Each structure stands twice: as C-alpha cells, then as structure tokens.
C-alpha cells in the first residue's frame, strides 16, 4: 500500500511540474517583426492586471499589424494603440498613440523592477492609472522611469530585431511609414 501511495505521489508531482511548465510557457509574448521574432517574458507576479490585459489583447489578435508610432533612438519603441494604430484597420497617423482598447484602463502596478535595455513597460498619460493597451520596449536604460511606469516584462530573445525598428523624427519620435507588429501571440 505504501508503494502505491509513493507511486501516486510521484504521478501527482510529475503532473504538477508539467502544469507549471505549461503555465510558464503562457507567460511569454512573441512579437513577429519584419526582421524576426521578439520573445518577451511577462512578469505576472509584478503586474498581474497589466499582464492579463496584454495577454487578452494578444490572444484576440488586437495587436496584429499595430504600428510602432513613437520610436526614439537611444530610448524606446512604443506601440500597442489598437484603436488608431492598426495599419490595416483604420490607421490614423494624427491620432496614433492617443487610443487604447475597449477594455478599461488599469490601475498602476509600479514595482522596483528597473527600466533597463529590453524592459517592456506600459505607456500611460499623466494619470498613473491610465495604462490600457500601449507598451514600449527600452533600447537603453531609463532609470528616470523607475517607479513611475508599470513594468510588464523583459525581452529574452530577439533584441537585435527590436534594434532594427524604424526610428521617428522630431522631439516626440513620431514615425512616418512606421514598422509594425506583424503578429503577436501568447507563448514562445
């Protein structure tokens, strides 16, 4: 009987490990760019509400064909305006960066995770609780953002593809004929 109990416990432990591996795979976002994929490891333990919203939008295909509307060399590339930034469905260059999704804004989930090269953070207005669908990927460290914006993840592969995103012109980094997220999926 004891042997049967040990065997059953072993099966449960293996199932638990397998389910953890499956859950861990769910905490990645793959962004297909023109030069190749970018894999972001999401941080639901740091920003659970933001990560859940981004994953929902990605799973629904809302980020597909959305422009990098604001790209500042040596700083960051911003995307995710699913309302005005979709290059195949109603793109509006004058309004790109002003929209979000039909989902509600998310209360701030600031953390001590620093903004370094490859960090992915949520864009917002002056209101700390206004993040919705837009996010940015850091080209370089930006310690002045620490504790001011919600970190949702970190690029774990494909940063060389992020580096090739077309840069904007002007002080705000507006991009004419912008690059896009071709397809965004949950998982590796």
Tell which wins on pLDDT, 171 or 162: 162
Quote the CA–CA distance of 71 and 155 in Å, as a whole number: 17
pLDDT for 21 equals 45
Mean pLDDT of the chain, nearest integer: 89
Determine how many CB atoms are found less than 10 A away from the CB of residue 170: 10
pLDDT for 90 equals 83
Q: What digits encode the pLDDT tens for the residues 49-58? A: 999 999 999 9
Is the model's pLDDT at 23 over the cut of 50?
no
Quote the CA–CA distance of 82 and 60 in Å, as a whole number: 11
pTM metric for this prediction: 0.86
Tell which wins on pLDDT, 64 or 18: 64
- Rounded mean pLDDT, 106-122: 98
């Amino acid at each position: 009987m004891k042997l049967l109990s040990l065997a059953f416990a072993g099966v449960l432990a293996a199932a638990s490990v397998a389910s953890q591996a499956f859950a861990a795979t769910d905490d990645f976002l793959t962004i297909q760019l023109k030069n190749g994929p970018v894999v972001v490891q999401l941080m639901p333990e740091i920003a659970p509400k933001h990560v859940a919203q981004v994953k929902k939008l990605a799973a629904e295909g809302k980020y597909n064909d959305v422009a990098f509307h604001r790209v500042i060399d040596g700083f960051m590339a911003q995307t995710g305006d699913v309302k005005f930034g979709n290059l195949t469905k109603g793109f509006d260059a004058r309004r790109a960066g002003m929209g979000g999704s039909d989902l509600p804004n998310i209360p701030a989930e600031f953390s001590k995770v620093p903004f370094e090269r490859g960090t992915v953070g949520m864009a917002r207005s002056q209101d700390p609780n206004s993040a919705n669908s837009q996010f940015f990927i850091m080209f370089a460290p930006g310690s002045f953002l620490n504790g001011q914006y919600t970190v949702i993840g970190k690029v774990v592969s494909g940063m060389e593809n992020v580096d090739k995103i077309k840069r904007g012109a002007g002080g705000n980094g507006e991009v004419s004929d912008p690059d896009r997220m071709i397809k965004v999926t949950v998982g590796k």
